[in-house]
Chains A and B, each alone.
Chain A
Amino acid sequence: MRIVVCAKEVLDPDAVNNYALSGGLAIGDDGRTITSSAIPRLMNAYDEQAIEAALRIKEAGADHTVTVVSAGPDPAAILKHAVALGADEIVSIPIEDAGIDYHVVANLLAAYVRSSEGAGLILCGRQASDDDQGVVPALIAESLDMPLISIARAVALSAGGTVRVTRVTPDGNEIVEADCPAVVTISNEFGEPRYPTASMTIRARRTPATVVTMSDLGDVDLAARVTLVEQSVPIVQGNCEVIDGESPSVIARDLVRRLHEDGILS
């Protein structure tokens, strides 16, 4: 079965977090693009876990291939990383605008699957750590008329061509099944992705990406549904009262007393 994994390049969310907290996150003159140049770009961590999920399915037997596709201004680096992890094929859909509407990205990815050999299983990260939207997998599923199973912590394929997924829900684990082709989104509970080995990293350097152009994709709806017009760092208004005292036990009693006075503890 052909497994297609969709991957996105993002700004390192931990670095963005550090800059945001220190007040040093730079937004460009356009009012919407983060321009702090020292922030590394990397593969969205959930997408890395989606690749891991695909590789584990492949290793579990049967004859599966893993294709990783990315649409973005410069997907080369993360696609190399995908090969280093173990992807059989990498596909790049170059698009100029870094702030492109995610609805259009979904249309491009769906069009790629439709215009290539199709897919038995499409795996995506549950959301991108930059926009946090998490809608692309659902849009792909609707566009290709496939069922969508979200927030997986375990995925397995059966010989009969069904996918069995353990989902992480607010009420605990749920096990569901659907006939392939299907779209599944992977959550962080899936577990750590593997590290690339030295030999795989060398192989990655030699593996070119298939570059897909608009004309390869046929008819794609490129009309923007949303445009990002502003981005800013929200200000958190602090009013913290620091409780100090000569020992932990004095501080602890003081805090408990105040919580009682405030009516929070009865």
Chain B
Amino acid sequence: MTGPVVVCTWAGEGEAAELLTLGRTVSEALGTDLVWLVIGVTADDAAETAKRYGATSIDQIDNNRVAASEPDATVEALSQNCSKRSPRMLLFSQTFNVRLIAPRLGGRLGSPVVMNATGIDAESGKLLRVTASAYGGDTQVVYEIQGDAMPIAALMPSAVEPQKSTAQTSPAVDVFEPDLSGVEERIRVLEPAHAEGPRLEDAQTIVAGGRGLGSPENFRLVEELAEALGGMPAASRPIVDDGWTDPSRQVGLTGKIARPALYIAAGISGASQHMAGCAASKTIVAINSDPDAAIFRYARYGIVGDCLELLPELTRAVQER
């Protein structure tokens, strides 16, 4: 029997249910086990989640050096776990940290690495195929995996709908102790990042503005509606680049990936690179003066009109209720 499919998540981060669902499809297709590798302290309900999604066992790495601030130790720990498990394939959910760790691990192990994955086509006896987004989502590409080395793929958030397993498993938790004595971290953190206030990633309501706001002062209209709704303001990249608001507010491929219940986009054209950061929102409302703007394809509700007139009216309408 070939090695298991291993899905790796950081405790409290990433979308374990989505990744386990994808991992299970692959492991079933290849007739192999599904191992869930958790970094950090597993939540009390991890065993329950593993059972529901069909993981055959849980590996836990709980070592305080295996953290975002110590990439060398993290790559080494994962590499040691791969030596022990000899996975058929290793899957991550794509987070900021995984974007650094997954390709480094791939380089270390000689693995094929595919980031931005949206799906995997596995069939026993055939080459694996990984679907990924390219050009910020303008196109979708399929990579065929070559050679014998263990492939690594990082799954985009919301690409897979979580689905429980029909067969119940009873996974046991196995603690994996990496030997990091030989690792001297080459990166020294001089000033850690401090999240200032709430994060867009966690917001339930977001009001985002783009170039259609016309001028920097008008970003205030976005902030006011966000405040009236008890949500957070956000922005497209061009107005961040032009300094209308802080880079931490940028949504998109190279900004924040948000998944709020409500995303109101004002004066945003809906370029794929922007939508990469908000397409997973439950409800998108688009306000754009151009009836042909791409954003309307993603929106539940659309208003064709001037956002400078509509934003203050929306703020008023929300306050009135």
Contacts and interface: CB of A to CB of B under 8 A. Distances in A.
The A interface is mostly helix, strand or loop, or mixed, namely mixed
Contacts of A233: 138-140
A106 to B, nearest CB: 8
A92 interface: no
Interface string B67-78: 000011000000
Contacts of B248: 172
Interface stretch (B27-35, B36-44, B213-221, B298-306): B298-306
Contacts, number: 247
Size bracket, chain B contacts: 35 or more
B196 to A, nearest CB: 6
A117 interface: no
A228 interface: yes
Interface stretch (B53-61, B80-88, B162-170, B278-286): B278-286
B298 A238 contact: yes
Interface in A154-180: 164, 167-179
Contacts of B193: 167, 169, 171-174
Contacts of A227: 143-144, 146
Contacts of A177: 187-188, 190
A131 interface: yes
Interface string A166-197: 01111111111111001000011100100000
B255 to A, nearest CB: 9
Given A134-B99, A187-B254, A225 B145 contact: yes
A85 B236 CA distance: 28
Interface in B118-137: 129-130, 132-137
Nearest to B225: A252
B262 A243 contact: no
Interface in A115-151: 126-127, 129-135, 137-143, 147-151
Size bracket, chain A contacts: 35 or more
Interface stretch (A61-69, A72-80, A255-263): A255-263
B195 A132 contact: no
Contacts of B247: 153, 168, 189
B103 interface: yes
Interface string A210-245: 000000000000011111111111101011111110
A177 B303 CA distance: 48
9 contacts: A13-B138, A21-B294, A25-B139, A132-B133, A138-B104, A170-B195, A177-B188, A255-B285, A256-B317
Interface of B: 71-72, 96, 99-100, 102-104, 106-108, 110-116, 129-130, 132-147, 149, 151, 186-196, 199, 201, 229, 237, 241, 247-248, 253-254, 256, 261-262, 271-273, 282-283, 285-286, 294, 296-306, 309-310, 313-314, 316-318, 320-321
